[in-house]
Every structure is written in structure tokens, then in C-alpha cells.
Structure 1
Amino acid sequence: MPVTDAQIEEAVRIAREYGATRVVLFGSAMDCPEHARDLDLAVDGVEGWEFFRLGARIDRALGLPVDLVPLDPSTPFSRHVERWGRTLFHVA
């Protein structure tokens, strides 16, 4: 089942409800959505347990697995995602 633009938009909408200040798409849903089996998102602005609640909420709402990665604190992986991923939402 492909990942659709509508699913990605819904994930961003939910992330914004949780206070996300930035959402970055990466992985198979960015590179080849028609073959993606999950949605990989990096998120900034959601901390603690709310981060995990956000991941579970997106997963339930979309009906597909979601891999959620924090952008803060900065790590080599998060910097890679920021460089090569596609920013879907960012509050300046």
C-alpha cells in the first residue's frame, strides 16, 4: 500500500496539534512513496512522553507504521535527516 500525500498531510496536521515546530520527511515515503511501507518523520518541538504519544497517534490515524525521530538533541543521524530530508513544516 503506497503512502499518500493525504496521509503525509494528516501526519503533519497531527504533529502541529502536539506543538511540533518542524516536521521533516525522510526515507522510503520521500524517495518512492508508491513502494513505502511506513512513514519516516523527524520532529522538533515535541518532548518527553508527548513525543511517544504523537508517534502512536499518527500510527493509529494513518493505519501504517510510523518511525518518529527527534531532531533535538542534534545527532549525526538527525543532522543527516535535516540535510537530505524534505521539510514539510517549519515555524520560523
Structure 2
Amino acid sequence: MSPIDAKTREQIVANVVAAREGRTTFLAQMKERQKQGWQAAHKAAVTLKEGFGATRVVLFGSMLDHEHMTWHSDLDLAVWGIQAEDYLRAGVAVEKGHPFTIDLIDAETAPPHILEAIHQGIEL
């Protein structure tokens, strides 16, 4: 291995500092997006309970931790009590009024790996 000259070392340090600053800014943006996502999730839970008979709604997935979010993070909502024939209408109803995609998951028929994630979620 050859030694790194001073100019290269300075450039590496500058790149690391810039990356850290960029990460800090990104995390602040994701924290704000998370706040907006939680508001949309709460509103969706009310719609699902009052309009479609959901007995329980749980937010799970990347929205729980802003450090695991991206600009494309969606809202994963596990639901109980919605009739199968109402899922499409419920999905359309909760998509309105915010910039998030919402994935409705029927918790009563979800596969084990999804149930594990749901159990780590937050009831709304």
C-alpha cells in the first residue's frame, strides 16, 4: 500500500465531513416526513374504523424509524375486521389527501414474516 499524500487526505476528510452533513440534513427531512406519515396514518385509521368497520389498525414498517426511511417510504397498515369485498374501496379512501402510498395488509391472513413485522408496529 502506498501512503496517502496530504492533498488526498484533505480531500477524503472533506468528503467525509460533507457526507456527514448531508446525512444529518437527510435525517432531519425524514423526521419531518415521518411526522407527516404518522398524521396520514392516524387519519387513515379513523377512516378505516369509521367507514369500513376495522376493529384494529397497526402501523408497521419503515415509517416507525426515520433512520430507515427514504423518500419512497410508504405507510404499511395492518387491519383487522374489514370485509374482503371492501378492501379495494378502503384502499382508495385512505390514499386521498396526502403524498403517501398506503399498503393495507389483512392481518388475519398475513404470512408469518409479515405478522412478525406487524407485532413490532404501533396500534393506531
- Interval of TM-score (by shorter of Structure 1 and Structure 2): 0.7 to 0.9
Find the aligned partners of 1:49 and 1:74 in 2 and give their Cα distance: 17
Could you say which structure has the higher helix fraction?
2
Unpaired runs of 5+ residues, structure 2, are 1-29
The number of equivalent residue pairs is 88
Question: CA RMSD for the aligned pairs?
Answer: 2.3
CA positional deviation for 1:82: 3.4
C-alpha separation in 2, matches of 1:33 and 1:7: 19
Q: Which has the higher contact order (CA 8 A, sep 6+)?
A: 1
| Structure 1 stretches of 4+ moved >3 Å | 33-36
Which has more radius of gyration?
2
Structure 1: runs of 5 or more not aligned:
none
User: Is the 1:42–1:81 Cα contact (8 Å) retained in structure 2?
Assistant: no
Indicate whether 1:16 and 2:52 are aligned.
no
Structure 1 residues 1-92: aligned runs within 5 Å? 2-3=33-34, 4=36, 5-17=38-50, 18-32=52-66, 35=69, 37-73=73-109, 75-88=111-124
Identify, as 1 or 2, the structure richer in strand.
Answer: 1
Query: What is the aligned-residue identity percentage?
Result: 32
